Amino acid sequence: MTPEKRIQRALDQGTAIHPQYRKEFSNGVSFAWSRVPWTLGCCSMWTEEARKTHYKTLCAVDNRLVLAGEHASYVGCWQEEAILSALDAVTRLHKRALGAA
Ligand SMILES: Cc1cc2nc3c(=O)[nH]c(=O)nc-3n(C[C@H](O)[C@H](O)[C@H](O)COP(=O)(O)OP(=O)(O)OC[C@H]3O[C@@H](n4cnc5c(N)ncnc54)[C@H](O)[C@@H]3O)c2cc1C
């Protein structure tokens, strides 16, 4: 869709829930994350196969390298999981620093 069409679609969908949506709307911006070089999307997507093969390795503490973020979680594209991933990574790092893992 063109940016204008995307905004119209969003207005249509919003109106289905909030009838006053269009009346209160003043401005809109539409952005295709998948077309941004180096980003190519707004968050990570795992296939079942990739998850099975690579997820544990991605999340493992590797010497001084520890990854955390929405990409290292089971619910991608969400702040909650990014935070839980960070807490998990810090907890594992702490255990390792104490020599427990
Ligand atoms: C359009 C959009 C709408 C969203 N809406 C919601 C929503 O409504 N609710 C919700 O819960 N989540 C939403 N999300 C998802 C949420 O924003 C992300 O899941 C969350 O921000 C991911 O946190 P993160 O710490 O994993 O990564 P980020 O927040 O992406 O943090 C990564 C950081 O690393 C920095 N960085 C990258 N490369 C380097 C480098 N080489 N050196 C140093 N720094 C670097 C980046 O600049 C960035 O600050 C949305 C995301 C997008 C894009």
Domains of the chain: 3-30 (no CATH), 48-97 (1.10.10.1620)
Helix, strand, coil in percent for the chain, rounding step 5 = 55, 0, 45
Q: Is there an atom of ligand 1 within 6 Å of 14 CB?
A: no
pTM: 0.78
Q: Is there an atom of ligand 1 within 6 Å of 42 CB?
A: yes
Tell me: the pLDDT tens digits for 53-95?
999 999 999 988 999 999 999 988 899 999 999 999 999 999 9
Tell me: the pLDDT tens digits for 5-44?
999 999 999 999 999 999 999 999 998 888 888 888 888 8
Q: Is there an atom of ligand 1 within 6 Å of 10 CB?
A: no
Smallest CA separation from ligand 1 atom 2, residue: 42
Instruction: Indicate if the pLDDT at residue 100 is higher than 80.
Output: no
Q: Is there an atom of ligand 1 within 6 Å of 78 CB?
A: yes
Answer for the pair 9, 1: CB distance below 8 angstroms, yes or no: yes
Q: How many residues does the chain have?
A: 101
Cβ burial 26-55 (10 Å sphere, 16+ → b, else e): eeeeeeeeeeeeeeeeeeeeeeeeeeeeee
* Partner residues linked to 58 by β-bridges: none
